[in-house]
Amino acid sequence: MNTKTHIALVSIPIYSHLRSILEFSKRLVHLHQDIHVTCIIPTTGSICSNTKALVESLPSSIDYMFLPPPNLDDLPQDFHPALLVLVATSRSMQSIDDALKKIHSRSSLVAIVCDGLITQVLYLSKKLNISSFIYFPSNMMLLSLVLYSPKMDETMTCEYRDLLEPLELPGCVPIDGKDLPEPLQDRSGEEYKVFIEGNKRFYLADGVLVNSFIDMEAETIRVLHEEGNKIPYAYAIGPFIQKGSSRRDESCLRWLDEQEDNSVLYISFGSGGALSQDQLNELAWGLELSGQKFIWVLRSPSKFGFVNDLSLANEDPLQFIPSGFLERTKDQGLVVPYWAPQIEILSHSAIGGFISHCGWNSTLESVVNGVPMITWPLFAEQKMNAAILSKGLKVAVRPKVNEKGIVEREEVAMVIKNIMVGEEGKGIRQRMKELKDAADNAVKQDGSSTRTLAELVLKWKSLGVAQCN
């Protein structure tokens, strides 16, 4: 007789979100071997190679199923990729409902955990009379914004980008209105309406599982917990990061082996980040001007700020960098088209800094490896993450942008030298080391995140006992 406690997870078809929730799943079943997980994954089309590699590496105690893509033929060819995901997940709700009912009929579920961007699932869990939780792959500061934004919507009248003073979310570092996520930048737009409606649904959840840890956001966690039953309980159970890559670029790692400790700057904009052509040019010139060693994961420019599926890339990104750049910097740096083994790179002793888009996965990978950061946010909540890192934790520097939103080459060179060899960089390096140690401690056997996860599992098991009775 199967006595395992069964949990269903519902992800969204965004690689970074899926990767995070699967890392949570793997740690969950590793620490608690009497837990069984089934992950339901909506799709927007063919399944990319990166996603296939993720799910094929899962342990036997984690099942997964890909749902058939919904009909999206009515959408325009140049439909924004972020909106495409929201439409696809919305149109997949019947398939998700059918999958949950089927799983529940075979092996009674004790809880459903859904990604924070697909909270419509919470209604389905209520129909099945099953406890529901949200997996939040970002941080407590963004969760605070999500939970308090419906109240902000009722009490504030101006556009948030026009606020004269920084916004002070409870327990968080003050943040400029222009640094709030894109859906909040136009309160008359459809994205804003969808954002607020989705945030209101958070209050249907029995709890929110957050990929963060106490020492990283202690004050925010304290304030959220003081709210008691007014808001869903926030479980700080991270950091969850990918342990290693299934693919290796030996030439890239061999090049790093030849460099001095802490001498190389790593530049990458996540699993899908991309710069405009003008910004790509300025970054290239800034790298060259800085004189610092670098390894740059280069992608073709994009009008959206990100690309969809790296496995489908068919352009040579090297054609977009300034003429002669590779020849002039052949002894200074290494340019890697499209993809590099980020986990192995960030853990390499030669790496001394990281220019990052500040996606939360990349942020945590940098923290876990103790690598100081230069924040270069592109979209989503990344500007908020940059504020946490630079103004709150002070483990990063943030370059200034001009009136066109471009970081100019002189600014690029200055912040690079600052973080790699400057006096400010020394202090940042020490603070990042302390944060790394805290992250290590959080996931130890008696660490704060491990204990919090154990409390959550105990709750789930008690729900299973109640079902049997």
Active-site residues: which are they? Answer: 17, 115
Phi and psi at 8, nearest 5°, equal: -105, 135
Kindly report the number of other CB atoms within 10 A of residue 223's CB atom: 16
Instruction: Give the Cβ contact number of residue 400 at 10 Å.
Output: 9
**Residue found by looking up tokens 């908020």 in the block:** 384
Give the separation between CA 43 and CA 85, rounded to whole angstroms. 9
Phi, psi of 121 (to 5 degrees): -60, -30
- Burial class of residue 311, CB neighbours in 10 A (0-12, 13-18, 19+): middle
Indicate the SS3 state at residue 425.
helix
Tokens at residue 463, please?
């729900």
How far is CA 378 from each of CA 11, 180, 181, 192, 274, rounded to the nearest angstrom?
Answer: 23, 12, 10, 18, 8
Query: Which residues have a Cβ under 8 Å from the Cβ of 177 and sit 6 or more positions away?
Result: 159, 160, 161, 162, 163, 166, 167
**Angle, in degrees to the nearest 10, between helices 409-421 and 277-290:** 50
Residue with tokens 């499209």: 338
What is the pairing mode between strands 293-298 and 5-10?
Answer: unpaired
CA Rg value for the chain: 22
Residue partners of 33: CB distance under 8 A and separation at least 6: 61
Determine how β-strand 5-10 pairs with β-strand 333-337.
Answer: unpaired
d(CA 365, CA 190): 33
Helix axis angle, 81-91 to 93-106, nearest 10°: 50
- C-alpha span between 299 and 307 (Å, rounded): 9
Strands (E), 245-402: 264-268, 293-298, 333-337, 351-356, 373-375, 396-397
Residue 30 host element (H or E): helix 15-31
Rounded distance, CA 415 to CA 424, Å? 10
